[in-house]
Chain A
Amino acid sequence: MTTVTNMPLSDLLKSFKLKTKQQELLIRVSILCLVYILAFITRLFSVLRYESMIHEFDPYFNYRTTLYLTQNGFYDFWNWFDYESWYPLGRIVGGTLYPGLMVTAVLIYRILHFLRFAVHIREVCVLTAPFFASNTTLVAYFFGKEIWDTGAGLVAAILIAICPGYISRSVAGSYDNEGVAIFALLFTFYLFVKAVNTGSLAWSLASAFGYFYMVSAWGGYVFIINLIPLYVLVLLITGRYSMRLYVAYNCMYVLGMLLAMQIRFVGFQHVQSGEHMAAMGVFFLMQVFYFLDWVKHMLSDTKLFQAFLRITVTCAVVVGTIALGLGMLSGYISPWTGRFYSLLDPTYAKDHIPIIASVSEHQPTAWSSFMFDYHILLFLFPAGLYFCFKRLSDATIFIVMYGLTSMYFAGVMVRLILVATPAVCLISAIAVSATVKNLTVLLRSKNKGVLTGSTKGSSSSRASSKALLDQSQPFQKNGAIALLFGAFYLLSKYATHCTWVTSEAYSSPSIVLAARGAHGNRVIFDDYREAYFWLRQNTPVDAKVMSWWDYGYQITAMGNRTVIVDNNTWNNTHIATVGRALSSYEDEAIEIMRSLDVDYVLVVFGGVTGYSSDDINKFLWMVRIGGGVFPVIKEPDYLVNGEYRVDKGAAPKMLNCLMYKLCYYRFGEMLTEYGKPPGYDRARGVEIGNKDIKLEHLEEAFTTSNWIVRIYKVKPPNNRW
């Protein structure tokens, strides 16, 4: 009896009496299943380490609205006026949010309940983002298959499953619009490219629905409605247009625009806003272009056609410019908003809109961020571009444009690395797949006589012809093996790096802090939730809480109290009023607080724990935003020689303003570190200047166990005698 110790995989599969095509299908399906599961479980670090809770700030608003939707139904949700935030203005929630995320979560919740899984809506919210990340890997596979071939699709799915650029905004607990929106973005692009490739109305209709889902999910849909017309324009200019393009774009534009206008927050922007005019312009251009093409086809005489061409083109250009000019001059077509203008001119926000400039996610990207989020994809991206240019088709032109535009925007704002991630993964997948395919074909071509096993039919025939075209130098078989090992090494390093980054950097809930104690044990600071639950249980139901806008959503969601300003930041003057109150002396501040009916003031202080994202470090932004609306607040008053200090040498206005007093009240007696004097601020690393603080109009209500959150009650005015 002959014993075979190492049965090759192909022989093993052959023993199950599978044909080659079925073997390939089995391998592909099993890889996709494993990638699906991997994408889900790699995002679960924080659930395993802490608990299943919602992270950060914005997700708390989304969670609160989802809760409202489950309890009150869609009609009440769509028409909801929230009087618990932005006191005394209120907020029209139904008309100022993107409902896609909430509706999706509630749909999943209802399906699970229908199947008799009695889960709480919070669990569904926490796990929505990883679920959609898994779905994104499937879409990436199909997209890769459409652009290049199935090998590239598989590699794309694998790369995007663990890419840190995407994981950063889609971990379990990060219940934010981007978790669903990236899926919608890639899905819309896939459907549109499929529509352009097949020229079928059904696929265009599907892409219009994909666009509708994207519009309902995230404000970044503006990227789609500008990239697709740009792509159409590039195809028209380079002469690659065809009838399929006409069918795909027109159906998608008209139906997509109509569907998008059903979302109240978007409203009529598709016909009135300057940011959406490119799509309309390209729509009309297409009609003219294809009409001329049809006439040229009908006329046999070119001279007549030239005359006709001249007349039509001049008419169209004149009418177009008149319409556009009238629209812009009369103000009917609104100009580009500051949010998008700052993408083209990165210095715009710093000078004109301090609120946008103050968000840390909106800063320009450093090289280290790129390397951190992309690792080897950073150099595979240009390699992939090379392969795309070698085999230009409608689909590869699209992915190249998507990649280049999104990389530009990723360089302008850190937050937009997320939008570039699918393009980078797809293009890198093309590079990896094409290279590995060429190398393995070289290997196999030497062994053709020896190998009796199956040559994976569908992929290698095209690859072998490509390999004959691609190879410019004769590779030795050893060289090919060495290069394959090198590729394998790089990809395994990528996987290690991604898992490490996910575990260390992107899995912290931000609302619960952790540190290492003196003996190496883990110490958890749960101060935020402690403070919010204190608010919930110990204050009157109609109490109003004033704090900086960062904490607004969390206070309303967990503390269940009315706030003055929150993260929506729609009213700059209201935020500036709060900023002014916090930067003024106590006597001026109490006037403002009484006019806003404030009952409690909440500040975040990191001096005892060394927590550096506290209100004292954010204070200069409060001054700038307040000073932007009220010129009485001047930033130089709080600085000494341009330097921001809190110790003895600090500016007198700084030492006596409300924020300083509230943060450092009773801190002067506190011993924070061995060998340092009392009142040593561990976050700033200095001993504070004003230790003897007396509060006249406020009294301390609650300070959490590590002094991170401090709540003060506004005292009612004194009796007259």
Chain B
Amino acid sequence: MAREKSSKDNAQALFHSLRSAYAATPVNLKIIDLYVGFAVFTALIQVVYMATVGSFPFNSFLSGVLSCVGTAVLAVCLRIQVNKEFKDLPPERAFADFVLCNLVLHLVIMNFLG
């Protein structure tokens, strides 16, 4: 009983400390995190849809999922480069790179969609 209680306490303490640490991050980073979450969520929806309906135009499925995963990954890279603690790269340059990579990503997706 005591062990279960302590592990539950542990989980709660973990959850609280994570929450408080996260609340301290700046707002622009939270927006990027929201975007990443949205992209991953969209990818999951697509995978569930594929599991129910079948994967016939496989290239369309791949292009859809990879566009979500791609923008999520690029947004995480943007977050890394914008975060003041890790880099001394001007944020405009980071954002310009982000836009360029997204442009290339979506052009390839358009070609691959079929």
Chain A contacts to B: CB under 8 angstroms: 199-202, 204-205, 208, 243, 246-247, 250-251, 254-255, 257-259, 261-262, 268, 271, 295, 298-301, 304, 307-308
Q: Scoring B residues 21 to 32 as 1 if CB is less than 8 Å from chain A, else 0, what string do you get?
A: 110000000000
* A569 CB to nearest chain B CB (Å): 28
Apart from A251-B74, A304-B13: 11 A-B pairs, beta carbons within 8 A: A201-B81, A243-B87, A250-B73, A255-B104, A255-B105, A258-B109, A261-B59, A262-B108, A298-B21, A300-B21, A304-B10
Q: Scoring B residues 95 to 109 as 1 if CB is less than 8 Å from chain A, else 0, what string do you get?
A: 001101100110011
Given contacts A201-B98, A255-B105, A300-B17, contact A261 B112 (CB under 8 A): yes
* A490 CB to nearest chain B CB (Å): 44
Which residues of the partner chain B approach A251 to less than 8 Å between Cβ atoms?
73-74, 77, 101
CA distance A535 to B18 in the complex (A): 79
Interchain CB contact under 8 A, B74 and A295: no
8 contacts between A and B (CB under 8 A): A250-B76, A251-B77, A254-B73, A255-B70, A258-B70, A261-B59, A261-B62, A304-B14
Interchain CB contact under 8 A, B97 and A258: no
Which residues of the partner chain A approach B94 to less than 8 Å between Cβ atoms?
201
Q: Let me know if B34 is at the binding interface, CB within 8 A.
A: no
Interchain CB contact under 8 A, B81 and A254: no
Pick the contact of A254: B21, B70, B98 (CB < 8 A).
B70
Closest residue on chain B to residue A202 by CB atoms: B97
Given contacts A251-B74, A258-B108, contact A298 B22 (CB under 8 A): yes
Which residues of the partner chain A approach B97 to less than 8 Å between Cβ atoms?
200-202, 205
Interchain CB contact under 8 A, A205 and B101: yes
Closest residue on chain B to residue A286 by CB atoms: B73
CA distance A307 to B86 in the complex (A): 26
CA distance A208 to B103 in the complex (A): 14
Interchain CB contact under 8 A, B105 and A262: no
Which residues of the partner chain A approach B109 to less than 8 Å between Cβ atoms?
258
Interchain CB contact under 8 A, B105 and A258: yes
Which residues of the partner chain B approach A247 to less than 8 Å between Cβ atoms?
77, 80-81
Pick the contact of B18: A208, A258, A295 (CB < 8 A).
A295
Interchain CB contact under 8 A, A307 and B87: no
Which residues of the partner chain A approach B13 to less than 8 Å between Cβ atoms?
304
* B35 CB to nearest chain A CB (Å): 16
Closest residue on chain A to residue B97 by CB atoms: A201
Interchain CB contact under 8 A, A268 and B58: yes
Interchain CB contact under 8 A, B89 and A200: yes
Which residues of the partner chain A approach B63 to less than 8 Å between Cβ atoms?
258
* A104 CB to nearest chain B CB (Å): 20
The 4 closest A-B pairs by CB, nearest first: A201-B97, A298-B21, A247-B77, A254-B70
Given contacts A247-B80, A259-B108, A262-B112, contact A304 B101 (CB under 8 A): no
CA distance A247 to B79 in the complex (A): 10
Which residues of the partner chain B approach A258 to less than 8 Å between Cβ atoms?
63, 66, 70, 105, 108-109, 112
* A18 CB to nearest chain B CB (Å): 34
Which residues of the partner chain B approach A308 to less than 8 Å between Cβ atoms?
14, 18
CA distance A268 to B65 in the complex (A): 14
Closest residue on chain A to residue B66 by CB atoms: A258
Interchain CB contact under 8 A, A199 and B87: yes
CA distance A257 to B109 in the complex (A): 11
Interface size class of B (residues with CB under 8 A): 35 or more
Q: Let me know if B111 is at the binding interface, CB within 8 A.
A: yes
Interchain CB contact under 8 A, A205 and B73: no
CA distance A247 to B83 in the complex (A): 13
Pick the contact of B10: A204, A261, A300, A307 (CB < 8 A).
A307
CA distance A304 to B100 in the complex (A): 40
CA distance A247 to B10 in the complex (A): 33
CA distance A123 to B12 in the complex (A): 74
CA distance A247 to B82 in the complex (A): 12
Which residues of the partner chain B approach A271 to less than 8 Å between Cβ atoms?
62
Which residues of the partner chain B approach A205 to less than 8 Å between Cβ atoms?
97, 100-101, 104
Closest residue on chain B to residue A205 by CB atoms: B101
Interchain CB contact under 8 A, B66 and A298: no
Which residues of the partner chain A approach B98 to less than 8 Å between Cβ atoms?
201
CA distance A585 to B108 in the complex (A): 56
Closest residue on chain B to residue A305 by CB atoms: B14
Which residues of the partner chain B approach A298 to less than 8 Å between Cβ atoms?
18, 21-22
Which residues of the partner chain A approach B11 to less than 8 Å between Cβ atoms?
307
Which residues of the partner chain A approach B66 to less than 8 Å between Cβ atoms?
254, 257-258
Within 8 A of A (CB), among B31-70: 58-59, 62-63, 66, 69-70
Interchain CB contact under 8 A, B108 and A299: no
* B114 CB to nearest chain A CB (Å): 11
Interchain CB contact under 8 A, A299 and B17: yes
CA distance A247 to B109 in the complex (A): 20
* B99 CB to nearest chain A CB (Å): 10
Interchain CB contact under 8 A, B80 and A254: no
Which residues of the partner chain A approach B70 to less than 8 Å between Cβ atoms?
254-255, 258
Which residues of the partner chain A approach B89 to less than 8 Å between Cβ atoms?
199-200
CA distance A199 to B97 in the complex (A): 11
* A137 CB to nearest chain B CB (Å): 29
* B46 CB to nearest chain A CB (Å): 14
* A359 CB to nearest chain B CB (Å): 34
Closest residue on chain B to residue A272 by CB atoms: B58
Which residues of the partner chain B approach A204 to less than 8 Å between Cβ atoms?
101
Which residues of the partner chain B approach A250 to less than 8 Å between Cβ atoms?
73, 76-77
CA distance A633 to B98 in the complex (A): 63
CA distance A715 to B70 in the complex (A): 63
CA distance A438 to B73 in the complex (A): 45
CA distance A201 to B21 in the complex (A): 28
Which residues of the partner chain B approach A200 to less than 8 Å between Cβ atoms?
89, 97
CA distance A271 to B58 in the complex (A): 11
Interchain CB contact under 8 A, B111 and A262: yes
Closest residue on chain A to residue B21 by CB atoms: A298
Which residues of the partner chain B approach A199 to less than 8 Å between Cβ atoms?
81, 87, 89
Given contacts A243-B86, A298-B21, contact A254 B14 (CB under 8 A): no
CA distance A254 to B22 in the complex (A): 28
